[in-house]
Structure 1
Amino acid sequence: MAKAVLLTKEGVLKLESELEILKTVERNKVAEDLKEARAQGDLSENAEYDAAKDKQAEIETRIVEIEKMLKNVTVIDADDERTDVIKPGHRVTLWDDAFEEEVEYLIVGSTEADPLNGKISNESPVGSAILGKAEGDVIEVETSSGIDRYTVLKIEI
Structure 2
Amino acid sequence: MSKVSYYTAEGLKKLREELNYLKDVERPNASRAIAEARDKGDLSENAEYDAAKEAQGMLEMKIAKLEEALAGARLIDESQLDNSKVLVLSKVKIRNQTNGMEVTYTLVADGEADLASGKISVNSPIGKGLLGKSVGEVAEVQVPNGIMKFDVLEISR
TM-score by length of 1: 0.92
Residues 9 and 77 in structure 1, CA contact (< 8 A), matched pair in contact too: no
Task: State the match for 1:12 in structure 2.
Answer: 12
Residues 2 and 72 in structure 1, CA contact (< 8 A), matched pair in contact too: yes
CA offset digits 1:89-126 (Å, max 9, x no partner)? 11111011223111111111223223344222212221
Task: State the match for 1:91 in structure 2.
Answer: 91
Q: Percent identity?
A: 41
Query: Which stretch shows the higher mean deviation, 142-151 or 74-83?
Result: 74-83
Paired with 1:98 and 1:9, the residues of 2 have a C-alpha distance of: 36
What residue identity is the alignment partner of 1:6? Y
| 1:101-116 equivalence runs, <5 A | 101-116=101-116
**Deviation (angstroms), 1:23:** 0.7
What residue identity is the alignment partner of 1:101? M
CA offset digits 1:18-55 (Å, max 9, x no partner)? 11011110011111111111110011121221111111
Change (3 A) 1:2 1:112: same
Q: Which runs of 5+ in 2 are unaligned?
A: none
What residue identity is the alignment partner of 1:55? A
The number of aligned residues is: 157
Task: State the match for 2:24 in structure 1.
Answer: 24
Task: State the match for 2:52 in structure 1.
Answer: 52
Paired with 1:75 and 1:34, the residues of 2 have a C-alpha distance of: 38
Residues 113 and 120 in structure 2, CA contact (< 8 A), matched pair in contact too: yes
Paired with 1:66 and 1:94, the residues of 2 have a C-alpha distance of: 33
2:112 counterpart SS class: coil
**Deviation (angstroms), 1:85:** 0.8
1:111 counterpart SS class: helix
Residues 3 and 69 in structure 2, CA contact (< 8 A), matched pair in contact too: no
Paired with 1:146 and 1:76, the residues of 2 have a C-alpha distance of: 34
